[in-house]
Amino acid sequence: MDITVTFDKGRWITDPQMAIVMRGTKVRWIFRAPTLETPSLRWMIKFPGRKPFREPEEKLAVYTKNTNFGTGKGEQFYNYFTAVEQLGLEDELRVNHRGATQPISMDEPGDYKYDLRVLAHESDELIGEEDPFLFVVSPIFTVNHLFL
């Protein structure tokens, strides 16, 4: 499952807004910053206290660089843009920053409020922070009884 996190003009948009996943589901966070001109960013996810995965890290970090594809010129860019446009993804070209975590298995059921931050990588300046929720649920099995 992908959780897409967009930081645009000071606003956070998380899709899905409230993530609910079955235990054992692999989750990947995708980060996007359409308008930030900062040369490089560090996206941080931290689960204070307990965490839904078994990996030893308590923090996940992703670094992104400003690609600014939206201002490209020349025949090579035109061909690239045309191909992307045909796929219906032209808005993605205008996203200055994009990156993703590796998929991580959510193995510990529970409700998790986690710390999400984006910082200017060079200066460590905090640009924005949010506290979204992730719910990891256990499957419920029922047994139907057959009476003869």
What CATH number corresponds to the domain at position 49? 2.60.40.10
**Global pTM value:** 0.78
Within a domain: 80: no
Within a domain: 146: no
Residue 58 — very low, low, confident or very high, per pLDDT cuts 50/70/90?
Answer: confident
Within a domain: 84: no
Within a domain: 33: yes
Give the pLDDT mean for 57-65.
88
Within a domain: 115: yes
Residue 49: per-residue pLDDT = 84
Q: How many distinct structural domains can be found in the chain?
A: 1
Residue 142 — very low, low, confident or very high, per pLDDT cuts 50/70/90?
Answer: low
CA angle 70/76/80 to nearest 5° reads 60
Within a domain: 127: yes
pLDDT at 41 over 90: yes
pLDDT at 33 over 80: yes
Pairing of strands 97-100, 26-33: antiparallel
Closest CA to 95 of 29, 7, 2: 7
Residue 36: per-residue pLDDT = 82
Within a domain: 82: no
Within a domain: 61: yes
Residue 47: per-residue pLDDT = 92
Domain that holds residue 7: 2-67+96-137
